[in-house]
A and B are shown apart, each in its own frame.
Chain A
Amino acid sequence: MNSSIIRYILGNVMRMEACFLLLPCIVSLVYGEGVGLYYLGTAIVCLAFGVVMAWKKPKNYVFYLKEGCIATSLSWIVMSLVGCMPFWISGEIPSFTDAMFETVSGFTTTGASILTNVEALSHTALFWRSFTHWIGGMGVLVFLLAIIPLSGGSNINLMRAESPGPSVGKLVPKMKYTARILYIIYFGMTILEFIFLIIGKMPVFDSICTAVGTAGTGGFGVKNDSLGSYSPYLQWVVAIFMILFGVNFNAYYYIIYRHFKKAFKMEEVRCYFAIILIATAIIFANILDHCVSIFDALTKSVFQVASLITSTGFSSTDFNLWPQICRTVLVLIMFIGACAGSTGGGIKVSRVIVLFKTMIKELHSYIHPKSIRKVNLDGKPVEHEIVRSINVYIVTFVIIFASSVFMVAFDGKDLVTNFTAVLTTINNMGPGLAEVGPAGNFSNFSVFSKFVFMFDMLAGRLELFPLLILFHPSAWKDLISKRAEARKF
């Protein structure tokens, strides 16, 4: 176990977070808010820690999947701990658990909140809350890879642990450039959305927060009713960008380099759009009676489907009050989630496709027991290893899901609340149904339940295993004993 590289990566993550923390300081300068000092203070302490930790370069830059996973999970935990400090110290969120919950929810792009009155927060806090989405959306380690020269092939292990999806594909041979391309696309699209929002006369501050919130498919709003009070034009812009941020970023890379055919042939992306279409159609048909006009119904249905399938979690209306069929469809698409390789959460469309095809294959083998058939995706056979890992993923998902529902049930809330609360946190969605619906929030849960939710959010964002590895005893044994480091190789 190469524990010095983990220390080095953590140090770099902290240094970077210190830089990110300077952005809310700027916001506080603009609005003349005193709370900026708390952010500056946190940034300085964080930077000091980061510099000390990354001071000594590791002897050996080679590391494996194990170290990659541990480094990634620890980074996310450390990031959340640091990120919640300003909320807590400044007293804007008085309880530590709540501050931590809010930050984890931000970084994991969940958007679930414990705040009853968002509008009471300072601009600085609102900005930082939304900006955590942007950092967490594409992943902080991917960002690290883009700017810090971690030589060698080992760095794919970081990407593997952090990027959503069953398998990681590079766009160009070098990790550094792959990470850069991803961030350039990400940044470019965020700016684009910001411009469209400005055109729609949204205030600049709201536009920035909404744009970064959409980009990370996060879902923290700056208003109590999320996006409900904005004009239909703005809602459409946000809806379309939510859908776009839920697309596999490889598709954009293909489009930029004019491989249109390849981009449009991506099975996952096609499926993703098909699901959106079907879900929207069903909901549209069923909420027509509840809405003032056809256009209003269309806006609302598209917006909610986009918001929930991409796991963003903005709301334009209280969909908790919609007919049962609509609520059911929404819960179902929450499970599916966005495309792999996007900023969205959920199980991921590509996993669902593979699972579905595996099922058909299994059925086929009942009819022709000796037949050989491979699961295909994009016309290429999917390796058995990947199919296996997807199956295990789903099983693990169900186990974590079920045990979480059990653990939060002690709070005595109704089943719909508990079920959707776990669903919405593990899939990094934001709002659920009933008490945790768009109009409600998570403040009424007990401290214990909140920690369960935090775990679910992190597990969901890091796709379960990188976080679970922290609970494997040997991970710690190796980390603590210096045996491995004493030997050179």
Chain B
Amino acid sequence: MSKQKKPAGGLNIIIVGCGKVGTTLVEQLVKEGHDITIVDKNAKKIQELSSLYDIMGIVGNGASFSVQQDAGIENADLIIAVTESDELNLLCCTLAKRVAKCSAIARVRTPDYSKEIVYLREKLGLAMVINPELEASREASRILCLPTALEVNTFANGQAELIKYKIPEGNPLVGTTIAELSRKTATSLLICVVEREGEIYIPSGDFTMKKNDVISFCTQRNFSRTFFEDLSVKTNQVKNTMIIGGGKAAYYLAKRLIGMGINVKIIENDRQRCEDLSVLLPKAIIINGDGTDEELLREEGIEYAESFVALTGIDEENILLTLHARQVSNAKTITKINRINFKDVISRLDLGSVVYPRYITSEAIIAYVRAKNESGDSNIETLYHLFDHRVEAIEFKVDQESEVTGTPLQALDLKRHLLVAFINRNGKIIIPSGQDTIERGDTVMVVTTHTGFNDITDILK
């Protein structure tokens, strides 16, 4: 509220641009108790949002100095620019950095800039550059590497993975308790979360798994494959993929997949875009046609596709395409959902994997904000919301000694509904048992149904 006083526990955050990502950020950051000011050219949008959330709205161009002043840039701790235009976002952040002592986060998604992202970030002094399409394509490519998984999240610079898996009928896991798991597989892993009929459990040792449970387990990189082999589940990386829609996300994804040796076929409606793509991705097969045309899909061999990724700009279309693909083929399907909010309806549909670009980015930002807000001794490295925001997986960096360090986990008085999923000690992933300890210099991942953890000591009661 003033230069000296700050309402306890909240940062002053300015969000420029109230599109999909902007709105998601507002929703999430308000929940975390920050003071938010939104800036957008569209007065209607501002009005809608400010009557929905406890925030202040300013109508205007976020890159203009006077508008930034109206939004209280001098007292702001963080500015997040997520407008449509990359240039505006960058200009906005550059200007804000000049006039005030705040951190800046910009969304930059054009491939032209994203190649130079590291350089841009350093030279402009940005705290973070986000690219939802790139992040979404990363997630999609991880899933395609491990098609059995519904979702793959990485921690500890990719050393550890959190994998979501739906237990099918007849799987050896059915009827097994968590404690018995080590007899079925040699892989060291930890089942962190189980979702059964819409309920979330942080399982203890005597928890018995049933068919159709969705489990989320944490393991070292590449170990997940051996685990699936132990369960005699097919886990080979897909050999080909069909992508519908040729937007930025499709480009990023195709580029990655080609790098991994996967054959890529992109179906895009716009001829000009097809030509651009064919220049950018010489190894991919670019088809110019309507991706929602059943006949065209059949002609292009949807029945034989090993994987199918719906990346058009229209969510409804993506959902229908995926449902169709699942009907006519055995392909691993991934659906991109950008805008629509009916998450519980979507999760009830049999869509396979779903990626939400806007959530991926907002999670990265929230992790940053929480770490920034905390002056204590540990920092949040990564944060994921799992199972419709009901579970948080947070990676903490432990910089200092505290109550939690040096004591065996079983001796710590931990909160309920909480698990220490792994400890990363100098790049080595430890899946902890009761005897393990947290030491200074570790990064620790905690999986919990509590929200708003800022510090590693929050895990104690």
Q: Which of A65, A156, A171, A257 contacts B54 (CB 8 A)?
A: A156
A151 pairs with B51, CB closer than 8 A: no
A157: chain B residues within 8 A (beta carbon): 51
B1 pairs with A172, CB closer than 8 A: yes
A181: chain B residues within 8 A (beta carbon): 1
Closest residue of chain A to B13 (Cβ to Cβ) is A173
A-B contacts, 16 of them at CB < 8 A, read A151-B54, A153-B30, A153-B51, A153-B54, A157-B51, A170-B56, A171-B56, A172-B35, A172-B56, A173-B35, A173-B37, A173-B56, A174-B35, A177-B35, A181-B1, A380-B59
> Residue B78 at the A interface, CB < 8 A?
no
Q: Once the chains are docked, how many angstroms separate the CA of A170 from the CA of B55?
A: 8
Q: Which of B1-53 contact A (CB under 8 A)?
A: 1-2, 7, 10, 12, 30, 35-37, 43, 50-53
> Residue A175 at the B interface, CB < 8 A?
yes
Q: How large is the interface on B (under 10, 10 to 19, 20 to 34, 35 or more residues)?
A: 10 to 19
What sequence of 0s and 1s flags, for each residue 139-175 of chain A, a beta carbon within 8 Å of any chain B beta carbon? 0000000000001110111000000000000111111
What sequence of 0s and 1s flags, for each residue 250-273 of chain A, a beta carbon within 8 Å of any chain B beta carbon? 000000010000000000000000
> Residue A383 at the B interface, CB < 8 A?
yes
B2: chain A residues within 8 A (beta carbon): 257
Q: Which of B43, B51, B55 contacts A173 (CB 8 A)?
A: B55
A173: chain B residues within 8 A (beta carbon): 12, 35-37, 54-56
Task: Given contacts A153-B55, A173-B37, list 15 more A-B pairs with CB under 8 A.
Answer: A151-B54, A153-B51, A156-B51, A157-B51, A170-B50, A172-B56, A173-B12, A173-B36, A173-B54, A173-B55, A173-B56, A174-B7, A177-B35, A181-B1, A380-B59
Closest residue of chain B to A64 (Cβ to Cβ) is B51
A174: chain B residues within 8 A (beta carbon): 7, 10, 35, 54
Closest residue of chain A to B7 (Cβ to Cβ) is A177
Min CB distance A174 to B, Å, is 6
Q: Once the chains are docked, how many angstroms separate the CA of A380 from the CA of B67?
A: 12
Q: Once the chains are docked, how many angstroms separate the CA of A265 from the CA of B117?
A: 42
Closest residue of chain A to B30 (Cβ to Cβ) is A153
Closest residue of chain B to A151 (Cβ to Cβ) is B54
**Given A173-B37, A177-B1, A257-B2 in contact, is the A153-B53 Cβ separation under 8 Å?**
yes
A156 pairs with B50, CB closer than 8 A: yes
Q: Once the chains are docked, how many angstroms separate the CA of A156 from the CA of B7?
A: 19
Give residues in B with beta carbon < 8 Å to A: 1-2, 7, 10, 12, 30, 35-37, 43, 50-56, 59, 72
Closest residue of chain B to A167 (Cβ to Cβ) is B47
**Given A157-B51, A181-B1 in contact, is the A383-B35 Cβ separation under 8 Å?**
no
Min CB distance B92 to A, Å, is 18
Q: Which of B37, B51, B53: most chain A CB closer than 10 A?
A: B51
A153 pairs with B50, CB closer than 8 A: yes
A153 pairs with B7, CB closer than 8 A: no
B12: chain A residues within 8 A (beta carbon): 173
Identify the 6 closest CB pairs spanning chains A and B, nearest first: A153-B53, A173-B35, A173-B56, A170-B56, A153-B54, A153-B52
B51 pairs with A155, CB closer than 8 A: no
B1 pairs with A152, CB closer than 8 A: no
Q: Which of A151, A171, A173, A174: most chain B CB closer than 10 A?
A: A173
B52: chain A residues within 8 A (beta carbon): 153
Give residues in A with beta carbon < 8 Å to B: 65, 151-153, 155-157, 170-177, 181, 257, 380, 383
Closest residue of chain B to A155 (Cβ to Cβ) is B54
Q: Once the chains are docked, how many angstroms separate the CA of A257 from the CA of B50?
A: 23
Min CB distance B321 to A, Å, is 29
B59: chain A residues within 8 A (beta carbon): 380
Q: Once the chains are docked, how many angstroms separate the CA of A65 from the CA of B30?
A: 20
A257: chain B residues within 8 A (beta carbon): 2
A152 pairs with B53, CB closer than 8 A: yes
B37: chain A residues within 8 A (beta carbon): 173
Closest residue of chain B to A177 (Cβ to Cβ) is B1
Q: Once the chains are docked, how many angstroms separate the CA of A232 from the CA of B55?
A: 46
A152: chain B residues within 8 A (beta carbon): 53-54
Q: Once the chains are docked, how many angstroms separate the CA of A30 from the CA of B12?
A: 47
Min CB distance B29 to A, Å, is 10
Min CB distance B40 to A, Å, is 13
B30: chain A residues within 8 A (beta carbon): 153
B43: chain A residues within 8 A (beta carbon): 383
A171: chain B residues within 8 A (beta carbon): 56
Q: Once the chains are docked, how many angstroms separate the CA of A257 from the CA of B12?
A: 16
Q: Once the chains are docked, how many angstroms separate the CA of A115 from the CA of B53?
A: 46
Q: Which of B1, B30, B37, B53: most chain A CB closer than 10 A?
A: B1
B50: chain A residues within 8 A (beta carbon): 153, 156, 170
Closest residue of chain A to B37 (Cβ to Cβ) is A173
Min CB distance A72 to B, Å, is 15
Closest residue of chain A to B70 (Cβ to Cβ) is A262
Q: Once the chains are docked, how many angstroms separate the CA of A342 from the CA of B148?
A: 63
A177: chain B residues within 8 A (beta carbon): 1, 7, 35
Q: Once the chains are docked, how many angstroms separate the CA of A125 from the CA of B1?
A: 39
Min CB distance B193 to A, Å, is 24
Closest residue of chain A to B53 (Cβ to Cβ) is A153
Closest residue of chain A to B59 (Cβ to Cβ) is A380
Min CB distance A8 to B, Å, is 17
Q: Once the chains are docked, how many angstroms separate the CA of A257 from the CA of B35?
A: 18
Q: Once the chains are docked, how many angstroms separate the CA of A90 from the CA of B7?
A: 45
Q: Once the chains are docked, how many angstroms separate the CA of A175 from the CA of B54?
A: 6
Q: Once the chains are docked, how many angstroms separate the CA of A168 from the CA of B337?
A: 35
Min CB distance A334 to B, Å, is 32
A176: chain B residues within 8 A (beta carbon): 54
A153: chain B residues within 8 A (beta carbon): 30, 50-55
A151: chain B residues within 8 A (beta carbon): 54
B53: chain A residues within 8 A (beta carbon): 152-153
Q: Once the chains are docked, how many angstroms separate the CA of A127 from the CA of B7?
A: 35
Q: Once the chains are docked, how many angstroms separate the CA of A311 from the CA of B311?
A: 61
Closest residue of chain B to A170 (Cβ to Cβ) is B56
B36: chain A residues within 8 A (beta carbon): 173
Closest residue of chain B to A169 (Cβ to Cβ) is B56
Closest residue of chain B to A157 (Cβ to Cβ) is B51
B51: chain A residues within 8 A (beta carbon): 65, 153, 156-157
Min CB distance A354 to B, Å, is 16
Q: Once the chains are docked, how many angstroms separate the CA of A82 from the CA of B1?
A: 36
B54: chain A residues within 8 A (beta carbon): 151-153, 155-156, 173-176
Closest residue of chain A to B14 (Cβ to Cβ) is A173
Q: Once the chains are docked, how many angstroms separate the CA of A156 from the CA of B51?
A: 6
B56: chain A residues within 8 A (beta carbon): 170-173
Q: Once the chains are docked, how many angstroms separate the CA of A177 from the CA of B8?
A: 12
Q: Once the chains are docked, how many angstroms separate the CA of A102 from the CA of B12?
A: 45
B55: chain A residues within 8 A (beta carbon): 153, 173
Q: Once the chains are docked, how many angstroms separate the CA of A257 from the CA of B72?
A: 11
Q: Once the chains are docked, how many angstroms separate the CA of A190 from the CA of B51?
A: 31
Q: Once the chains are docked, how many angstroms separate the CA of A393 from the CA of B325?
A: 56
Q: Once the chains are docked, how many angstroms separate the CA of A152 from the CA of B55?
A: 9
Min CB distance B205 to A, Å, is 35
Q: Once the chains are docked, how many angstroms separate the CA of A382 from the CA of B54?
A: 23
Q: Once the chains are docked, how many angstroms separate the CA of A152 from the CA of B33?
A: 10
Q: Which of A156, A174, A181, A383: most chain B CB closer than 10 A?
A: A174
A383: chain B residues within 8 A (beta carbon): 43
A175: chain B residues within 8 A (beta carbon): 54
Q: Once the chains are docked, how many angstroms separate the CA of A380 from the CA of B51?
A: 21
Min CB distance B42 to A, Å, is 11
B1: chain A residues within 8 A (beta carbon): 172, 177, 181
Closest residue of chain B to A380 (Cβ to Cβ) is B59
Q: Once the chains are docked, how many angstroms separate the CA of A109 from the CA of B437?
A: 67
Min CB distance A188 to B, Å, is 15
A65: chain B residues within 8 A (beta carbon): 51
Q: Once the chains are docked, how many angstroms separate the CA of A177 from the CA of B36?
A: 12
Min CB distance B159 to A, Å, is 39
Closest residue of chain A to B35 (Cβ to Cβ) is A173
Closest residue of chain B to A152 (Cβ to Cβ) is B54
Q: Once the chains are docked, how many angstroms separate the CA of A287 from the CA of B2?
A: 47
Min CB distance A361 to B, Å, is 18
